[in-house]
């Protein structure tokens, strides 16, 4: 096994990178497994367990889906054939999945974010999610309203009792 890569899970996945921040910042509506079009040095860097999905997103260019903002560092032993760390990478999905993602991502507030990057049966895969952004001030406002309602019910219960 590669030096930095993690062990295989029960489902045969060898996890390379995970985006835990995405589940905190977004409401995940649907997930998809997509293949990646990679260069040789990118695959070697991934096998070493080196990648970051934190600033990544996916967008449509024409009728193709592209992964952007994902950082796969240059391969240490690479020569002039090395790749650009933050280049756009094409995602491979079935046409029905692409059409569904395209129609949903056009809706207001929806985006496509990567959740995990892993190897499955020797091929690099990325788990992407159709997500809707959460707003911090909305969460705080809802929490405050709930707390105010509880206090009002307690006060009414104390007056009645």
Q: How many helices (DSSP H) and strands (DSSP E) are in the chain?
A: 4, 7
Domain ranges of the chain: 13-135
Give the model confidence (pLDDT) of 50-78 as tens digits.
788 888 889 898 899 999 988 888 776 66
Mean pLDDT score across all residues of the chain: 82
For 39, the 3-state DSSP assignment is: coil
| Cβ-based burial of 94 (10 A; exposed 0-12, middle 13-18, buried ≥19) | exposed
pLDDT band at 82 (very low <50, low <70, confident <90, very high): low
pTM attached to this predicted model: 0.74
* pLDDT at res. 95: 95
CATH of 13-135, one of 1.10.150.20, 2.60.60.20, 2.40.280.10, 1.10.3720.10: 2.40.280.10
pLDDT on residue 92: 93
pLDDT of 80 higher than 70: no
């Amino acid at each position: 096994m590669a030096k930095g890569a993690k062990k295989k899970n029960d489902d045969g996945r060898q996890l390379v990178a995970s985006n835990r921040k995405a589940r905190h910042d977004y409401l995940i509506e649907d997930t998809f497994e997509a293949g990646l079009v990679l260069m040789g040095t990118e695959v070697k860097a991934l096998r070493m367990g080196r990648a970051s999905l934190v600033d990544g997103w996916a967008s449509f260019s024409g009728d193709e889906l592209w992964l952007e903002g994902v950082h796969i560092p240059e391969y240490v032993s690479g020569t002039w054939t090395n790749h650009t760390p933050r280049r756009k990478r094409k995602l491979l999905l079935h046409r029905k999945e692409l059409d569904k993602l395209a129609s949903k991502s056009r809706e207001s507030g929806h985006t496509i974010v990567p959740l995990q990057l892993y190897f499955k049966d020797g091929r690099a895969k990325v788990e992407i999610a159709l997500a809707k952004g959460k707003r911090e001030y909305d969460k705080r406002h809802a929490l405050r309203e709930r707390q105010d309602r509880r206090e009002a019910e307690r006060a009414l219960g104390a007056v009645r009792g």
